[in-house]
């Protein structure tokens, strides 16, 4: 027997044993779902809560990645697959398509039942054209920092801190440079100030930066989350920053806040933890694309935008709170976010169970619900397929 054949047979046996073990450990009455690793922590909480209320109904979530989640649904291995990015007409494999159904935002408790009734007529379609998406949450990120004291010094009511903003679509991203680990406080201040000319206040801030080179020439520490963290995955996917060679690792959103409190540097946290910031902690929240989430560091519950002429953060009157700001599906809303989406098939044997599960989640309003625990914004939309 040749070496190649031996390797093939051994690999085949390992795969078969894996499937056999998986079959043994998975309860027979379980509904198997899977996909995005970022969705996994939420789904573990949500499915347990639902299973506890529905005796005898269990879910098994396989954290295999978004693309594997889609493939699992298409192959019939999963009753539902989960992705943490927009669904498009290219999400499914060639030959498969989403059901012909208008995008519908769920806005009341009767909407699920109405949609379920409308879908009954679609169940006579073949499997290839019966795929459905259910967007159920939005995951948003905030960038926090603690800076040298001279960054905080006000000159005519403006400081270097006030100018901290990251443009996510910038090809020469300041955030990417920061996480490469080579940027100093002086260099970053220069980058923030360079866009302003013929401005007395900015010129004074430039002089302030020049007079603090001893502190300014220190490299800026950065902090990231551990491998497998949903927050780290969201940060990396949205910024395209995959390598953070010199970043310090912390293991929770809470730990990130505590670390930034006691040392200068930059880090990031999930939206749900932004409300844990306080004015006495020495922590600041940066702008993203010239917009900023409301927090205990600002007044009121409305988000902010940067007024270039006044060089001040001003309230955005269009939104009453962060959730509405994050939900906004246009350039006016918050951009540092991504959706959590379920993909299922109307002809799946477990379709009704999947649909009922999300109906249950939609009605979860108490403070202990998994959306609150994971810092996600509840947002239910059926068949939101991007161009």
Are 133 and 229 found together in one domain? no
Percent pLDDT > 90 in the chain is 61
Task: Let me know if residue 107 belongs to a domain.
Answer: yes
Integer-rounded Cα radius of gyration of the chain? 24
Provide the pLDDT for residue 4.
52
By three-state DSSP, how is residue 337 classified?
strand
Are 321 and 345 found together in one domain? no
Q: DSSP letter for 226, please.
A: P
Provide the pLDDT for residue 366.
67
Are 98 and 34 found together in one domain? yes
**Domain holding 308: CATH number?**
3.40.190.10
Task: Let me know if residue 290 belongs to a domain.
Answer: yes
The boundaries of the domain holding residue 290 are 140-327
How many domains are contained in the chain? 2
* 3-state class percentages of the chain: helix first, strand second, coil last, to nearest 5: 35, 20, 40
Please give the helix or strand (H or E) that residue 14 lies within, else none: helix 3-25
Are 158 and 284 found together in one domain? yes
Are 177 and 315 found together in one domain? yes
Q: 313 with 287: CB under 8 angstroms?
A: yes
Are 108 and 194 found together in one domain? no
Are 319 and 369 found together in one domain? no
Domain boundary among 327, 346, 365: 327
Task: Let me know if residue 301 belongs to a domain.
Answer: yes
- pTM of the predicted protein model: 0.82
Q: Is 290 left (phi over 0), alpha (psi -120 to 50) or beta?
A: left
Rounded alpha-carbon distances, angstroms, from residue 231 to 31, 198, 249, 386: 26, 40, 12, 23
Task: Let me know if residue 267 belongs to a domain.
Answer: yes
What are the tokens at 14?
Answer: 């390992």
Task: Let me know if residue 241 belongs to a domain.
Answer: yes
Are 87 and 219 found together in one domain? no
126-154: pLDDT as tens digits: 899 999 999 999 989 999 999 999 999 99
Are 227 and 166 found together in one domain? yes
Task: Let me know if residue 2 belongs to a domain.
Answer: no
Are 355 and 301 found together in one domain? no
Q: Is 37 left (phi over 0), alpha (psi -120 to 50) or beta?
A: alpha
Least confident interval from 3-12, 47-56, 220-229, 312-321 = 3-12
Q: Is 289 left (phi over 0), alpha (psi -120 to 50) or beta?
A: left
Once rounded to an integer, what is the mean pLDDT over residues 204-224?
97
Are 122 and 170 found together in one domain? no
Residue 10 pLDDT > 70: no
């Amino acid at each position: 027997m040749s070496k190649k054949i031996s390797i093939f047979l051994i690999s085949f046996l390992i795969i078969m044993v894996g499937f056999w073990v998986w079959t043994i450990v998975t309860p027979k009455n379980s509904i198997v779902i899977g996909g995005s690793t970022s969705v996994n922590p939420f789904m573990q909480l949500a499915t347990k809560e639902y299973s506890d209320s529905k005796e005898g109904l269990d879910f098994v979530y396989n954290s295999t990645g978004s693309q594997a989640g889609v493939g699992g649904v298409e192959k019939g291995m999963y009753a539902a697959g989960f992705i943490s990015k927009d669904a498009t007409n290219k999400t499914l494999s060639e030959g498969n398509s989403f059901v012909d159904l208008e995008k519908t935002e769920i806005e009341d408790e009767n909407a699920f039942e109405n949609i379920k009734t409308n879908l009954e007529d679609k169940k006579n379609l073949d499997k290839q054209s019966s795929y459905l998406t259910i967007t159920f949450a939005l995951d948003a990120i905030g960038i926090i920092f603690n800076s040298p004291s001279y960054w905080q010094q006000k000159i005519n009511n403006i400081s270097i801190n006030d100018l901290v903003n990251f443009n996510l679509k910038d090809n020469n991203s300041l955030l990417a440079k920061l996480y490469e680990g080579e940027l100093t406080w002086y260099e970053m201040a220069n980058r923030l100030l360079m866009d302003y000319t013929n401005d007395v206040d900015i010129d004074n801030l430039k002089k302030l930066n020049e007079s603090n080179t001893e502190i300014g020439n220190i490299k800026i520490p950065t902090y990231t989350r551990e491998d497998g963290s949903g927050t780290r995955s969201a940060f990396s996917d949205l910024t395209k920053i995959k390598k953070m060679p010199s970043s310090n690792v912390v293991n929770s959103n809470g730990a990130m806040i505590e670390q930034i409190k006691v040392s200068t540097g930059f880090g990031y946290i999930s939206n749900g933890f932004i409300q844990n910031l306080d004015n006495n902690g020495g922590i600041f929240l940066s702008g993203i694309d010239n917009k900023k989430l409301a927090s205990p560091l600002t007044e009121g519950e409305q988000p902010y935008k940067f007024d270039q002429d006044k060089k001040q953060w001003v309230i955005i009157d269009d939104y009453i709170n962060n959730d509405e700001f994050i939900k906004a599906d246009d350039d006016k809303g918050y951009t540092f976010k991504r959706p959590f989406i379920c993909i299922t098939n109307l002809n799946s044997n477990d379709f009704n169970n999947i649909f009922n599960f999300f109906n249950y989640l939609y009605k979860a309003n108490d403070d202990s619900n998994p959306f609150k625990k994971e810092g996600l914004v509840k947002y239910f939309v059926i068949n939101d397929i991007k161009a």
